[in-house]
Amino acid sequence: MTLCIALHRHSFMDNLVQPFHHLNPYFVQNPQTHMQPRSHSPTSVSLGISEPQLVSSPQFSSPKFSPFFHPLDNLSELKTLNSVREFHAQMVKLPKRRSSVTMDGSMMKSYLEFGDFVSATKVFFVGFSRNYLLWNSFLEEFSSFGGDSHEILEVFKELQNKGVEFDSKALTVVLKICLSLMELWLGMEVHACLVKRGFHVDVHLSCALINLYEKCLGIDRANQVFDETPLQEDFLWNTSIMANLRSERWEKALELFRRMQFASAIATDGTMVKLLQACGKLRALNEGKQLHGYVIKFGRLSNTSICNSVVSMYSRNNRLDLARAVFDSMEDHNLASWNSIISSYAVNGCLNGAWDILQKMESSSITPDIITWNSILSGHLLQGSYEMVLTSFRSLQNANFKPDSCSITSALQAVIELGCFNLGKEIHGYIMRSNLDYDAYVCTSLVDMYIKNISLDKAEVVFHHSKNKNICAWNSLISGYTYKGLFNNAENLLKQMEGEGIKPDLVTWNSLISGYSMWGHSEEALALMNRIKSLGLTPNVVSWTAMISGCCQNENYMDALQFFIQMQEENVKPNSTTICSLLRACAGPSLLKKGEEIHCFCMRHGFVDDIYVATALIDMYSKGGKLRVAREVFRKIKEKTLPCWNCMMMGYAIYGRGEEVFTLFDSMCKTGIIPDAITFTVLLSACKNSGLVMEGWKHFDSMKTHYNITPTIEHYSCMVDLLGKAGFLDEALDFIHAMPQKADASIWGALLSACRIHKDLKIAEIAARNLLRLEPYNSANCVLMMNIYSSFERWGDVERLKDSMTAMGMKIPNVWSWTQVRQTIHVFSTEGEPHPEEGEIYFELYQLVSEIRKLGYVPVTHCVLQNIDEKEKEKVLLSHTEKLAMTYGLIKTSDGSPIRVVKNTRICQDCHTAAKYISLARKREIFLRDGGRFHHFMNGECSCNDLW
């Protein structure tokens, strides 16, 4: 009774022994005496009444439901409030000729019509029958006439002070009104009164207190009321479980349900539905199965809502087979049943199955509704099939359905992912015409779309003109500012947000953290973490993941890994998004050993079954040179998504294994997964890295003809690269001129790179002129052109380019390579301090060059951009960073283990040739990742087939 006793001092009910014997208080309020009757007002007040018997309440105006609320015959002739009061006084004095219920109901009706809410409430509190249905009817009628529920509480307090004694039913309704109005202190005073009078054993009062405390003080206080109630009946158990479910205390609710069984209490259908939903959210399959058993044991399978929840529970636990079995066993399928199973298939990526069920649904004479279509849209969205989202969105409209806010937000998300912002503007026009701009979620999606379209000014216009913007819209614009590095704008908007009474949440702070981290301001991001703590908030997994992800986007991979260590020190458990970001941090610089450690972490903590983590693992192992391990991870995935297929195909593509890519593509299409624009980028990359020109043309042409995918600049760039590397430089130039899009730097860069391979100076100069116009300060283009000039020994042009770079303030970028030995990364750079073991490295390298010369190695001296003699050029070639890294790896690693090297620029032709001979001479595999692709050297051959 701890909580109840603590409330005694707040009680104003110390004189509750005097009965209320007179009606004089009815007539002390409202001096207006000639008021005309009021008409019904559309205003209504939600009272949060949750008992089953209050769900369907009679209305005063309906003779069918409330016969005792008809005014007496004489009352219909009364025209003023004064005459009603006089008549009421006469009725009190005269002997009762009719039912007191009828008389009281008539008087209340008359007082309400004349707007005397206080007198109506006094009649109701004092003279009316104690019946929950009648109480609820009065509250609804009171609201319909425009009454304020606060007046009821004021009358209640006045009557208490006059000595009126209320029973438990009246106090229950008062507590419900306190709940609806968030009047916590009055509710606590009533609670103290209950303890004094012994009413705390009343189940309905305890339920009302649980609901009040859950909403106003928190679920812990509500659970305390439950624990202190001596008589825990079925209704109380169900109320307590539902309160915990509303507060997202899923585990506590399941624990209460287990205790409920030992108490032989019975759960209601509504409780079972919510508990099954909790098992879905918790991914608690075993508990869900036990609830399913409970449903079968107590014969609840006839309840369609419960069966629908069972289907959803199994779906969320990735047991689509059991979900389908339950659905097929149901006697009746309503629209919600069909929507539930369709959503289950869609969310789990089985979109073909979802479409099949949709057809069966239509053949069963059940018409799909907007929820059905939204499930399909959400399924495509979750699987990353953004083109199909827009295709389904058009199908929805063709079926004469009007898209709602859910459909619109799905379509806008697809627009964002695909970057087709012109379509997004058209959808914005539809939103304006359909008056959907009032929806907070639509507003947020529009703001997000314009931000991703780099149209911050338009995002601001949408934001400031939105009438209904929630905290998500504020957060979206703040995120947009931080994404663009406009931190002052973000801070000003944060102040404006607080000025309008909206308290920033963790999402707000996490957006700022992500922005600072992404822009390389790690110290500011950490300062924000401390600022969050000073405000009484606790940085969560999203906060830390925002920092890690931001670092990855800014290519600060080592910072990302360091933040993960700090995150673990603060006992914050990572989620799948954190793991994906960490794997991206390992894949970026090919930190294979660290990636393998994270893979072990995933296995220990059950992340390997997550499709996003599995896809990130494939990417990490592919970029780390372990394609076999990547394939093994891919093979173990049961339900492969489109991004998963794309990632595995890209793994083969970057190694130049085109045939494996096409085999995987055929297998993917057979499973019913439709390729997207990224898939064709992968296919064309495979073609260019393998020199498969005819295959490249076939897939490029099929994009539009077979899959209705418009080629993007990335696809055109792949085609130029493919044609150029295959030696069709004239055709590549003609292809550029025939493009419907204006060629960008990636197009001309691909052509210039091909000219280096095939030594075509004429076309190289055309490409270089265009690159100079598009990227005047990109030194890499100048270096590549100098390389081409040097191969023709045009040293004057080389010097001219060097002078131009100096005049424009450009420098030849620092070139580096690194290899990892055990847990240490060893960097070899053209600038900075030399490696401490440089002497030993050069000694071994001289021996190695002498050895491979005997196998046929001849230095490719035209790679040296200096006008010096051949012997000097050979010495310069020995200092190339990739040679030093490979040599150090040979010295420090055991025989037979692969050498792994990462280089920030393209490998030169001489180092590429030398690596092939080194792999043959030392019988070692060498994995080298350069600025363009992967090279796997083995037995004197390279996986790139000399096309790089």
Write the CATH number for 553. Answer: 1.25.40.10
Average pLDDT score over residue span 507-520: 85
Amino acid letter at 47?
L
Last residue in a domain, options 813, 840, 863: 813
Angle between helices 440-452 and 421-433 (to 10 degrees): 150
Helix (H, G, I), strand (E, B) or coil at 776: coil
Residue 46 φ/ψ, nearest 5 degrees: -80, 125
Model pLDDT, residue 629? 93
Model pLDDT, residue 22? 37
pLDDT tier at 916, thresholds 50, 70, 90: very high
pLDDT at 794 over 50: yes
Residue 47 belongs to some domain of the structure: no
Model pLDDT, residue 78? 64
As given in the structure block, the two tokens for residue 858 are: 């001849």
Residue 921 belongs to some domain of the structure: yes
Put residue 198 in one of left, alpha, beta given phi > 0 → left and psi -120 to 50 → alpha.
left
Residue of 85, 86, 81 whose CA lies nearest to 34: 81
What is the 8-class DSSP label of residue 610? -
H helices of 637-760, in order, are 642-653, 658-670, 677-690, 693-707, 713-725, 729-738, 745-758
Q: Examine the domain organization and report whether 938 and 820 are in the same domain.
A: yes
Model pLDDT, residue 56? 31
Condensed to tens digits (0 to 9), the pLDDT of residues 811-821 reads: 877 888 989 88
Residue 432 CB contacts under 8 Å (≥ 6 apart), including other chains: none
Helix (H, G, I), strand (E, B) or coil at 615: helix
Average pLDDT score over residue span 297-320: 85
Helix (H, G, I), strand (E, B) or coil at 589: coil
Average pLDDT score over residue span 776-780: 88
Model pLDDT, residue 351? 74
pLDDT at 24 over 50: no
pLDDT at 309 over 70: yes
Q: In terms of DSSP bridges, do strands 899-903 and 926-929 run parallel, antiparallel, or are they unpaired? A: parallel
Q: Examine the domain organization and report whether 743 and 860 are in the same domain.
A: no
Residue of 507, 515, 438, 495 whose CA lies nearest to 471: 507
Lowest mean pLDDT among 40-54, 657-671, 748-762: 40-54
Condensed to tens digits (0 to 9), the pLDDT of residues 191-206 reads: 777 777 666 567 777 8
Angle between helices 304-316 and 285-297 (to 10 degrees): 160
List C-alpha distances in Å: 75 to 80, 87, 94, 137, 704. Answer: 10, 8, 15, 21, 80
Q: Examine the domain organization and report whether 626 and 648 are in the same domain.
A: no
pLDDT at 658 over 50: yes
Q: Examine the domain organization and report whether 773 and 870 are in the same domain.
A: no
pLDDT tier at 33, thresholds 50, 70, 90: very low
> Distance (Å, rounded) from C-alpha 169 to C-alpha 529?
50
Residue 51 belongs to some domain of the structure: no
Q: Examine the domain organization and report whether 482 and 560 are in the same domain.
A: yes
Residue 279 belongs to some domain of the structure: no
Average pLDDT score over residue span 856-884: 87
What is the 8-class DSSP label of residue 34? S
Last residue in a domain, options 786, 813, 840: 813
Helix (H, G, I), strand (E, B) or coil at 828: strand
pLDDT at 762 over 50: yes
Q: Examine the domain organization and report whether 820 and 930 are in the same domain.
A: yes
Q: Examine the domain organization and report whether 798 and 825 are in the same domain.
A: no
Average pLDDT score over residue span 223-235: 81
Residue 832 belongs to some domain of the structure: yes
Residue 659 CB contacts under 8 Å (≥ 6 apart), including other chains: 690
> Distance (Å, rounded) from C-alpha 448 to C-alpha 438?
16
Instruction: Look up the pTM and report it.
Output: 0.58
Residue 210 belongs to some domain of the structure: no
pLDDT at 96 over 70: no
pLDDT at 764 over 90: yes
CB of 508 closer than 8 Å to CB of 545: no
- Mean of all residue pLDDT scores within the chain: 80
- The enclosing domain of 751 has a CATH number of 1.25.40
- What residues are paired with 528 via a beta bridge? none
As given in the structure block, the two tokens for residue 301 are: 């399978």
Lowest mean pLDDT among 90-94, 242-246, 694-698, 940-944: 90-94
Q: Examine the domain organization and report whether 497 and 606 are in the same domain.
A: no
Helix (H, G, I), strand (E, B) or coil at 935: strand
pLDDT at 252 over 70: yes
Other beta carbons within 10 angstroms of residue 359's beta carbon come to 9
Residue 448 belongs to some domain of the structure: yes
Residue 858 belongs to some domain of the structure: yes
Q: How is 79-127 classified by DSSP, letter by letter?
A: -SHHHHHHHHHHHHHSPP-S-HHHHHHHHHHHHHHTT-HHHHHHHHHHH
Model pLDDT, residue 718? 94
Each as own residue / partner, the long-range contacts of residues 559-566 (CB below 8 Å, 24 or more positions apart, any chain) are 559/517, 559/522, 560/585, 561/585, 561/586, 561/591, 561/594
> Distance (Å, rounded) from C-alpha 881 to C-alpha 170?
86
Residue 62 or residue 628, greater confidence:
628
Model pLDDT, residue 200? 57
Residue 174 φ/ψ, nearest 5 degrees: -60, -40
Model pLDDT, residue 199? 61
Residue 796 CA to chain centroid, in angstroms?
Answer: 57
**Matching residue, tokens 């993960």:** 564
CB of 113 closer than 8 Å to CB of 142: no
Last residue in a domain, options 813, 844, 869: 813
Amino acid letter at 127?
G
Domain range for 593 is: 574-635
Q: Examine the domain organization and report whether 461 and 507 are in the same domain.
A: no
Residue 384 φ/ψ, nearest 5 degrees: 80, 15
Model pLDDT, residue 664? 95
> Distance (Å, rounded) from C-alpha 90 to C-alpha 623?
94
pLDDT at 438 over 70: yes
Condensed to tens digits (0 to 9), the pLDDT of residues 555-601 reads: 778 888 888 888 888 888 898 889 998 998 888 777 888 889 999 99
pLDDT tier at 62, thresholds 50, 70, 90: very low
| First and final C-alpha spacing in the chain | 79
Q: Examine the domain organization and report whether 661 and 593 are in the same domain.
A: no
pLDDT tier at 35, thresholds 50, 70, 90: very low
Residue 784 CB contacts under 8 Å (≥ 6 apart), including other chains: 752, 753, 756
As given in the structure block, the two tokens for residue 622 are: 């592919």
> Distance (Å, rounded) from C-alpha 360 to C-alpha 372?
13
* Number of domains composing the chain: 6
Model pLDDT, residue 9? 35
Model pLDDT, residue 95? 61
Amino acid letter at 751?
L
- What residues are paired with 500 via a beta bridge? none
Average pLDDT score over residue span 440-459: 83
Model pLDDT, residue 407? 85
pLDDT tier at 475, thresholds 50, 70, 90: confident
Residue 261 or residue 87, greater confidence:
261
Q: Examine the domain organization and report whether 381 and 453 are in the same domain.
A: yes
> Distance (Å, rounded) from C-alpha 877 to C-alpha 865?
11
pLDDT at 763 over 90: yes
Condensed to tens digits (0 to 9), the pLDDT of residues 529-538 reads: 888 888 888 8
Q: Examine the domain organization and report whether 786 and 722 are in the same domain.
A: yes
pLDDT at 918 over 80: yes
As given in the structure block, the two tokens for residue 929 are: 């990742």
pLDDT at 4 over 50: no
pLDDT at 165 over 50: yes
> Distance (Å, rounded) from C-alpha 256 to C-alpha 244?
9
Helix, strand and coil content of the chain, in percent to the nearest 5, comes to 65, 5, 30
pLDDT at 269 over 70: yes
